[in-house]
Chain A
Amino acid sequence: MESHQDDTGSKIGMWLFLLSEILLFGGLFILYSSYRYKNPADFHLAAWELNRALGTLNTLILITSSLFMALSIYFLRKGGRNLSMLFLCATIFLGLLFLGVKYVEWTAKIGHGLYPNSLRLLGRSKGEILFYGLYYSTTGLHGLHVLVGLLILSVMLVLMMKGKVNENRFIPLENTGLYWHLVDIIWIFLFPLFYLIP
Chain B
Amino acid sequence: MAKNGVLEPAHSITSFYKYQGKYHGTFAWILSTDHKRIGLLYLFSILLFFSVAVFFGFLMRLKLIAPGFALMKPQMYNAIFTLHGIIQIFLVVIPAIPAIFGNFFLPIQIGARDMAFPRVNLLSWWLYASGAIIVFLSLFTGGGPVDTGWTFYAPYSLRTTVNVPLAVFGVFVLGMSSILTGVNLVTTTHWLRAPGMSWFRLPLFVWGIYATAWVQILATPVIAITLVLIMIERYFGVGVFDPAKGGDPILYQHLFWIYSHPAVYIIILPAMGVISEVIPVFARKNIYGYKAIAFSSIAIASVGSLVWGHHMFVSGQSDLASVIFSLLTFLVAVPSAIKVFNWVATLYKGSIELKPPMLFALTFIFLFSIGGLTGLIQGALAVNMHLHDTYWVVGHFHYIIFGGMGFGFLAAIHYWFPKMFGKMYNWKRAAWGWLILFIGFNVLYFPMLILGWEGMPRRYYDYPPQFHTLHLISTIGSWILIAGLIWIFFNLFQALRKGERAGDNPWGGATLEWQIPSPPPMENFEKIPTVEKGPYEFGSLRIEKL
In the bound complex, CA of A35 to CA of B192 (Å): 45
B256 CB to closest chain A CB (Å) equals 10
- Once A27-B255, A129-B246 are accepted as A-B contacts, the answer to whether A137 and B232 lie under 8 Å apart by CB is yes
Asked whether A9 lies within 8 Å of B225 as measured between CB atoms, the reply is no
Chain B residues within 8 Å of A39, by CB: 246
Choose the segment among A17-25, A61-69, A95-103 that binds chain B (4+ C-beta atoms closer than 8 Å).
A17-25
Stretch at the interface among B132-140, B180-188, B332-340: B180-188
Give the shortest distance, in Å, between A3 (CB) and chain B (any CB): 10
Within 8 A of B (CB), among A35-58: 35, 38-39
Asked if A2 contacts B220 (CB within 8 A), the reply is no
B222 contact set on A, CB distance < 8 A: 23-24, 26-27
Question: Which B residue's beta carbon lies closest to that of A132?
Answer: B238
Q: How far is the CB of B418 from chain A (nearest CB, A)?
A: 26
- Bound state CA distance, A79 and B260, in angstroms? 48
Closest B residue to A1 by beta carbon equals B21
Q: Which residues of B contact A38 (CB under 8 A)?
A: 248
B116 pairs with A6, CB closer than 8 A: yes
Give the distance to chain B from A169, nearest Cβ to Cβ, in Å. Answer: 14
A133 lies within 8 A of B225 (CB): no
A13 touches which one: B7, B120, B238 (CB < 8 A)?
Answer: B120
Question: Assuming the A-B contacts A9-B192, A126-B245, A126-B246, are A136 and B1 also in contact, with contact meaning beta carbons closer than 8 angstroms in the complex?
Answer: no
Q: How far is the CB of B360 from chain A (nearest CB, A)?
A: 33
Query: By the criterion CB–CB under 8 Å, are B239 and A13 in contact?
Result: no
Bound-complex Cα distance A127 to B114 (A): 52
Contact B251 A31, beta carbon cutoff 8 Å? yes
> Cβ of A107 < 8 Å from any Cβ of B?
no
Bits for B228-271, please: 1 = Cβ < 8 Å to A, else 0.
Answer: 11001000111110000111100100110010000000000000
Chain B residues contacting A22 (CB-CB under 8 Å) are: 221
Interface contact B2-A127, CB-CB below 8 Å: no
Interface residue A168 (Cβ < 8 Å from any Cβ of B): no
User: Smallest CB-CB separation from B244: which chain A residue?
Assistant: A126
Given contacts A9-B192, A12-B190, A27-B226, contact A21 B221 (CB under 8 A): yes
A-B CB contacts (within 8 Å), total count: 123
Closest to B252 in A: A31
For B224, the chain A residues whose CB sits under 8 A away are 24
Q: Does A28 contact B (CB under 8 A)?
A: yes
Closest chain A CB from B315 CB (angstroms): 15
Contact B218 A19 (CB under 8 A): yes
CB <8 Å contact, B187 and A9: yes
Check if B179 sits within 8 Å of A130, measured CB to CB.
no
The residues in B between 185 and 225 inclusive whose CB is less than 8 angstroms from any CB of A are 186-187, 190-192, 217-222, 224-225
Asked whether A116 lies within 8 Å of B221 as measured between CB atoms, the reply is no
Check B366 for interface membership: any CB of A closer than 8 A: no
Residue A154 is within 8 A (CB to CB) of chain B in the complex: no
Residue B118 interfacial (CB < 8 Å): yes
> A12–B7 contact, CB under 8 A?
no
Question: Which residue numbers of A lie inside 8 Å of B, CB to CB?
Answer: 1-2, 4-6, 8-10, 12-13, 16-17, 19-28, 30-31, 34-35, 38-39, 116-117, 122, 125-127, 129-130, 132-134, 136-137, 140-141
Give B residues with C-beta under 8 Å from A.
1-3, 5, 7, 21, 33, 114, 116-118, 120, 179-180, 182-184, 186-187, 190-192, 217-222, 224-226, 228-229, 232, 236-240, 245-248, 251, 254-255, 258
Of the A-B pairs whose beta carbons lie under 8 Å apart in the complex, a sample of 7, sorted by A's number, is A9-B192, A12-B116, A16-B182, A20-B221, A23-B218, A24-B221, A136-B238
